[in-house]
Amino acid sequence: VAGGVGAFLNYAASSRLHPAARRAIREALEAWPLSFEEEARVLREARVLFARLIGADPGEVALVPNVTAAISAVAYGLPLSPRRRVLTNSLEFPTNRFAWMTMERLGYRVEEVEMEGPLFDESRLLDSLSGDEALVALSHVFYQSGYRVDLDSIYPAVRASGSLLFLDAYQSVGVVRVSASQADFIATGSGKWLMSIPGSGFLYVRRGVLEGMRPPFMGWMSTEDPGDVEARVYRPAPDARRLEGGFPPILGYVGVNAVLREMLRTGIGEIERRVLSLTGWLIDELSRIRGVRVVTPSDPRRRAGIVSFAGDFDPRKMGEYLASRGIVVSVRGGMVRASVHYVTSEEEVEALLSAVREFLSGV
């Protein structure tokens, strides 16, 4: 593995740069500055490729830097609802709890469903719906446990309750299938499973919802015709561009586009199959090691690229030991979190397993 790293198993934190992204960014830098037409092409292509990945229309895709920005755009873009509650849960990454709190300034209550234990419980969320929710914010795959939410049970129920569903898909887009039919809003960033530079993310908004949304930032790029730089009257773009701000980080999208093209060529079904096979194998092998308790579900429908485990050991010490062996993982929520992508080799998974066995045998 390049750079003397024994195994890179940390896509859920900060990814390695995909070779296709590195190549494309290098070429763009050599050619810098890009022409206005080339920039417009890159941004258009970003919307088209992301839309293709999730089965949406390019007009339903806004370019946003990260999940925080996606949440802010939704928070300030939603028409005011007579409903007063925004519902999250105790297992969310801070972004998907804190960033909603700006809505408290608009008179909403942001409340959390308390989960018991490390795994998300669909019925607990559904039982908490009161009919007063304007929006439910939820991860698709949880950053600590790697649990993949059963959206087939969640989305129809949330819709039937009259609420919108916002999906934080930062831990699922690019690794497992994510479909525009699974939520009203889907957000992701570029620094994890899309294997690019952070700061060039995406927000999908379902057409029917988009039509009622107000431009949250009223940036010049959110107008009907950003080419009209003499405009004196603000006219919002008819599509999801109305949720955007100023000029996006174009080099980042050059990289993301190159990766999206690769992923679409491979096929997200094939990527998912490979990742689930590797994580399934990792879970089986870890479960056989005495003193290890795998937290991530073994049901392939309930996991993606993350495998988290705890047991009769200090996870920090295990993490430090793995780092000393050149094995890059994270420690989250009292668990060791390994994350595996479609480019991960069997040797990298073997290296992790051997090092875990060594650590526990006190070598």
Ligand X SMILES: Cc1ncc(COP(=O)(O)O)c(C=O)c1O
Q: How far is the CB of 213 from ligand X (least distance, A)?
A: 20
Q: DSSP character for 162?
A: T
Among 15, 66, 81, 145, indicate the residue that binds ligand X (CB under 6 A).
66
Residue number, 149 or 260, with CB nearest to ligand X: 149
Chain centre to alpha carbon of residue 175? 10
- Distance between CA 213 and CA 69 in Å, rounded? 16
Note whether 144 binds ligand X by CB under 6 A: no
Task: For residue 345, give every residue at least 6 positions away whose Cβ sits within 8 Å of its Cβ, in sequence order, or none.
Answer: 1
Strands 133-139 and 164-168: parallel
Site string for ligand X, 91-120 (x = CB under 6 A): --x-xx------------------------
Among 50, 147, 170, 202, indicate the residue that binds ligand X (CB under 6 A).
170
85, 128, 155, 163, 264 from 131: Cα distances, Å: 9, 9, 15, 8, 39
Q: Please check whether residue 352 is in contact with residue 282, taking contact to mean a CB–CB distance below 8 angstroms.
A: yes
Among 77, 118, 174, 189, indicate the residue that binds ligand X (CB under 6 A).
189
Residue number, 172 or 222, with CB nearest to ligand X: 172
Residue number, 93 or 281, with CB nearest to ligand X: 93
Size of the site for ligand X (CB under 6 A): 12
Note whether 155 binds ligand X by CB under 6 A: no
Q: How far is the CB of 326 from ligand X (least distance, A)?
A: 23
With contacts defined by CB under 6 A, name the span among 65-73, 127-135, 158-166, 322-330 that binds ligand X.
Answer: 65-73
- Distance between CA 286 and CA 279 in Å, rounded? 10
Number of H helices and E strands in the chain, helices first, is 11, 13
Q: Which residues bind ligand X (CB under 6 A)?
A: 66-68, 93, 95-96, 139, 143, 168, 170-171, 189
